[in-house]
Amino acid sequence: MRPANLVVIMSDEHHPRAMGVAGHPFAITPNLDRLAARGTRFDAAYCNSPICVPSRASFATGRYVHELGTWDNAIAYDGRVPGWGHALQRSGHRVDSIGKLHYRNAEDPTGFDHQYHPMHIYGGHGMVWGALRDGKADFTDRAHVMLDPIGAGTSKYNIYDDRIAGEAETWLARAAREGSDRPWVLFVGFVAPHFPLTVPKEFLDLYPVDKMPSPRLHPKDGHPRHPWLEASHHIHPVDDALDDERRRLATACYYGLCTWVDRQVGRVIGALERTGLSETTRVVYTSDHGDNIGARGIWGKSTHYDDAVGVPMIVAGPDVARGRVCRTPVSLVDVAPTIMDAVGEDPYAWSKDLPGRSLLEIGSAPDDPARTVFSEYHAFASPSAAFMLRNGRFKYNYYVGYPPELFDLAADPGEERNLARTGEHARILAQFEKQLRAMLDPEATDARAKADQADLIARFGGPEKACNVGAPGATPAPI
């Protein structure tokens, strides 16, 4: 595959199925649909931790969270573990970023020649209060305002995304004029469809509130939550503050933001086409995690159901199969070798024992549904560590101190029937647990994460003081 420039576009909190091309019944995403039509869409793509900062650290390095120790939204990537950006710099490739990165700060050597309008964790320390995992903190008040404001309007995040798209257009026009003797990489980070669920009216009007579906598997309709999820919800009960009308409004706003970010992606793709760079530039589109959109009475991320742990993944451009849907499971750790491969470098030589593979290799090979992908969660509102393995038709969720879950995604894509409750799948459960324990000791990893978080809380003066350290909700936009 010939070397080419690469644009990596990452949104924030984009549900893996919230695209027309993914078969969603009403999501309007014409630009992503068009991108997928001229490339390969990966239909079983996952993040490696369903929360912003840990997920992005795995994305930056191609390594898992338990290797990095970036457990939660207060422990961000700081460049000490080499990532793909450093490898590109060593190889003489220009590598810039525009927009949200959610690393520790702009001063750390995280592998970019220049960061335009970077968005990093609040104050360089992030959501310290989210590291309080002893079960004693009460986050009810914060939970009840998580989805405020909501409705038609223009948030600072919308303004920021508009600025990022404009900066990307300018950057690409300049790159086309100046030329380059080596392929370059541009990272573009948008915030939508991350809350606040405020969206310009023209986008909200595309989704009539009275026609929005009710959230799936909601406890009010007789669907009990898994006990780990119930314990998590008790710590941060967002949905308890909503009635049915507000749930439908939240759903409409979320999909409006999906169409909003699709518009911004279209601006980047349009700039490539206008400047003639589309013939020499590949594009990767993905997100840092998904969103539950009210399923099981949960909003935001932080679960290992496909709604939250799944991500969209599209690769398009020169030498990429057009209109292909790849069924091989992939994850964000696969993007790091993909970036190196795309510009003509060895995908794996820059870092030892990488768990990922280049998406360019995976997408050009026959489907391998038996490939295993992995995710883990140690962050806000979790009573204990949670781990996910996905391969073939089955997905396994392991919770420290709680019963496991097993889903047959071929027969049950909505993950409604936990097969671990029956005795019929004992062999599959045992195989998954054996595979997980070959990767790590889940109980010891849980203890290590909690010990690191307790140390963090102590450094900020103990639980009472740490409870007020960090932005109370979403990271403020740098505008």
Three-class SS of residue 335? helix
* Alpha-carbon distances, residue 39 vs 2, 317, 337 (angstroms): 16, 6, 18
pLDDT at 423: 83
pTM for this structure? Answer: 0.98
Question: Are the beta carbons of 327 and 43 closer than 8 angstroms?
Answer: yes
**Distance in angstroms (rounded) separating the CA atoms of residues 226 and 242:** 21
pLDDT at 182: 96
Neighbour-count burial of 478, counting CB atoms closer than 10 A to its CB (0-12 exposed, 13-18 middle, 19+ buried): middle
- Dihedral sign computed on CA atoms, order 266, 479, 197, 299: positive
pLDDT at 250: 97
Helix, strand, coil % (nearest 5) of the chain? 40, 15, 45
pLDDT at 227: 98
Which fold does the domain 5-466 belong to in CATH? Alkaline Phosphatase, subunit A (3.40.720)
pLDDT at 46: 98
- Listed as ranges, residues in the chain with pLDDT below 70 are none
pLDDT at 3: 97
Give me the residue spans of the domains in the chain.
5-466
**Distance in angstroms (rounded) separating the CA atoms of residues 104 and 470:** 13
